[in-house]
Amino acid sequence: SPTPSPTPTVPPTVDPKLAELDAVSAAVATLMADNGLSFIPNPVTASEPPCTTGTTAMTRFPDTASAAGTVDKPADPAGRVYASGTGDLGDKDGYVLFGHDILADLLPSTVVSYVRFVRSVWCYTVEPDGYVRQYDESGAETPRPPRPTPTPTPIPTPTPTLTPLEQAIKTKVGELVAVSKSVAELMLDNKLSSIPNPVTKGTLPCLTGTQDMAAFPDATSVAGTGDKFWDPFDKSYLHADDSPPGDKDGYLLIGHDFFADGLQDDLQSYIDFATTAWCYSIDSEGTVEQHEPGQLEILDDVDQLRAAFSDDDGSARLVLLVSPHLAAARGRAIWVQQQILNADPELDLKLYVVWNARPLVGEPALKPSAGLEPDDRIAEYWDTEQHVGRWLASNLTADAHAFDAYFLFGPEARWGDTPPDLRSTAAGDGFLSGAALRMALEALFPDLQ
């Protein structure tokens, strides 16, 4: 039987218009890459015959002020100086697709062409970033797919390589060991048998202790300061060589003024990090204690507290507004937990501690961190905008603001469209003394110890 003739393969039809557009676009991209350009200095946007829009002259494209093989024009048409021959990128270094003087040396041997044609069939403009547009002689643009939005490539963050010791220090136990060891070295170097003013009070974000190693272990020291004659407690400051250690010689793990001379070039550090992840306090004997900071819920509006209040319907509820900068106010929050809640684990009292800076003092909004021990009956919030203080004051008191205050509600209280029924409240000294709150709680819980 006869062998059938093979069916001829018909090459796909190529649209010459799109083929030329692709060639010009690729040529512009190559020119920019070769010359280290992030943009075209003077992009072609106007028109010249025979084009209504753009140009067909590849000897003047994509840079309007360039000319094929010419790099040394003293000024371009806009009157700008043309820097050439120095290797610097001037605004007119001959960025053209046909006859580009790549070395800007006027030598024909270094002229490069990125397309094979001096003139194109269709007309072209270009945008500063190198995006090419094609037009016919009437000015109609060739449809193209939507211009892609460049997606920046994420730069990976290098993971630092930690030594075994550095890895250990980043753990809870490792950091405690590092701080304790550093305190022991400081005491040994300075011949201290005790810490003059041990850090015991809290400094945000810690309710107890501090994370600032430039303020630890001596509470009244200042980093880099060794010559203060009086501290806040009016105790004499002795620092002479023939005197016993004074009560304020800058005993710090970071920025310790070893010679107590006030000079910044003699500072000594006993630890490698200025801020710790956990909180630390210390007793006068130099025993370091570690405390766990917890995160607070940020209050964006009063409705967040309203929702928590409603979730606890049927329980007595106590709102404490506490200024974290005031030691007595912080102490009242600790008192409620330790003397009221911890004394009776079954006590049906929900405690909402709202930390807020006093609005008339202009205290800075420091990094929030929970200050009480974990307890399912306690919720802590950070209210830098005074949402809760203003609402409670305006709806339940005659004041415009409320801070360093308590608001006690019974199990029957409901917070809906109207304010909840209030059992007792006190602010300022009435809150700080604790007597009014104790009496109100005893009235609500007769068996309270």
Verify that 407 and 326 share a domain, yes or no: yes
Verify that 181 and 225 share a domain, yes or no: yes
Tell me, letter by letter, the H, E, C secondary structure of 49-92: CCCCCEEEEHHHCEECCCECCECCCCECCCCCECCCCCCCCCCC
pLDDT of 293 reads 74
pLDDT averaged over every residue in the chain:
77
H helix or E strand, kind and range, residue 178: helix 172-189
- Lowest mean pLDDT across 138-142, 225-229, 286-290, 344-348: 225-229
pLDDT of 54 reads 92
Name the range with the highest mean pLDDT among 54-63, 139-148, 370-379. Answer: 54-63
Query: How far is CA 70 from each of CA 47, 94, 211, 401, rounded to the nearest angstrom?
Result: 21, 6, 66, 75
> Contact, 122 vs 21, CB < 8 A?
yes
* Position 345 in a domain: yes
Domain end (from 264, 291, 318): 291
pLDDT band, very low/low/confident/very high, at 416 (cuts 50, 70, 90): very high
All residues at 6 or more sequence positions from 381 whose CB lies less than 8 Å from its CB, including other chains: 296, 297, 298, 299, 304, 305, 352, 353, 354, 355, 388
pLDDT of 148 reads 62
How many alpha carbons lie under 13 Å from residue 208 in its C-beta half-sphere?
Answer: 13
Residues 363-395: tens digit of each pLDDT: 444 444 556 777 889 998 888 788 898 899 899
Domain boundaries, position 70: 16-135
Verify that 439 and 381 share a domain, yes or no: yes
Residues 74-132: tens digit of each pLDDT: 344 444 444 444 434 444 456 888 887 666 556 666 677 889 888 999 999 999 889 99
- Total structural domains within the chain: 3
- Lowest mean pLDDT across 39-48, 217-226, 241-250, 368-377: 241-250
* Position 378 in a domain: yes
Q: Distance (Å, rounded) from C-alpha 196 to C-alpha 204?
A: 22
> Has residue 304 got a pLDDT over 60?
yes
How would you classify residue 110: left for phi > 0, otherwise alpha for psi between -120 and 50, otherwise beta? alpha
* Position 248 in a domain: yes
All residues at 6 or more sequence positions from 38 whose CB lies less than 8 Å from its CB, including other chains: 32, 129
Verify that 311 and 424 share a domain, yes or no: yes
* Position 159 in a domain: no
Verify that 230 and 319 share a domain, yes or no: no
pLDDT of 96 reads 85
Verify that 262 and 330 share a domain, yes or no: no
* Position 156 in a domain: no
Verify that 216 and 322 share a domain, yes or no: no
pLDDT of 94 reads 65
Verify that 439 and 309 share a domain, yes or no: yes
For β-strands 378-382 and 349-355, DSSP reports them as: parallel
* Position 227 in a domain: yes
Residue of 262 and 281 predicted with greater confidence: 281
Verify that 306 and 425 share a domain, yes or no: yes
Verify that 225 and 316 share a domain, yes or no: no
Verify that 123 and 249 share a domain, yes or no: no
- Bridge partners of 38, per DSSP, are none
Domain end (from 291, 319, 350): 291
Q: What is the mean pLDDT of residues 17-28?
A: 91
Verify that 26 and 51 share a domain, yes or no: yes
Domain end (from 291, 317, 335): 291
Q: Distance (Å, rounded) from C-alpha 279 to C-alpha 285?
A: 18
* Position 43 in a domain: yes
Residues 316-364: tens digit of each pLDDT: 999 999 887 676 777 888 889 988 999 899 999 999 999 887 655 444 4
* Position 146 in a domain: no
pLDDT band, very low/low/confident/very high, at 178 (cuts 50, 70, 90): very high
